[in-house]
Amino acid sequence: MPSLTRRALLRGVAVSAIAVPLGTAALTSCSTEPSAEEVLAGRLVPLAIAATASADDARRLGAAEPGRVAALNEIAIIRDEHARLLRDEITRLHPASVALITTPSASPAVGSATPGSATPGTSTPARPQPAGLAEFRAGLTTDAVAARQVATTASGFQAGLTASICASIASLPGVLA
């Protein structure tokens, strides 16, 4: 029976130190499933699109509602900040998903597509522009519900971020009171 020499043992350790990481990398690179980070980034994309859209809606309503222009401008600033924070987190989680954040087109679409379904980096049909403050408030409520849904299923920083955005959006109709 051959005995195991020190030299043979060291060769075996050296080979396994190289082979195991390469084998693991090869096996994990073959996966077609999206990573958890990519999935979460994809769930944040519609929130970023909605934040940009509601900031734009607030600015448009400000022109039509001169008595509420200051409040609507404040809401636009807050929603722009939400969009920036979400974009930053999407970039951190999965940089390629940032391309899914599209800018709503200027005119409302008849039968609009779902957010993020357009070609990356292009315009997506905008949600219908609110005709007045009541519709704008309803849009904010919808945005808060969407953020809450992500917050309740996310964990860690993303849960805190989306919960904070949800709470912030929920408080915005009070600014218009």
Q: Residue 125: its pLDDT value, please?
A: 52
Quick check: is 136 in a domain? yes
Q: Residue 7: its pLDDT value, please?
A: 74
Computed over every residue of the chain, the mean pLDDT equals: 82
Check if the beta carbon of residue 98 is closer than 8 Å to that of residue 85.
no
Quick check: is 3 in a domain? no
Quick check: is 82 in a domain? yes
Record the pTM: 0.71
Residue 61's domain comprises 36-175
Q: Residue 137: its pLDDT value, please?
A: 95
Degrees to nearest 5, angle at CA 88 with 100 and 112 = 30
Q: Residue 115: its pLDDT value, please?
A: 39
Flag residues of the chain having pLDDT under 70. Answer: 1-2, 9, 13, 15, 19-31, 104-127
Complete DSSP assignment for 29-51: HT--SPPHHHHHHHHHHHHHHHH
Q: How far is CA 132 from CA 28, 136, 137, 140, in A?
A: 52, 6, 9, 13
Q: What is the DSSP letter of 119?
A: P
Quick check: is 85 in a domain? yes
Quick check: is 27 in a domain? no
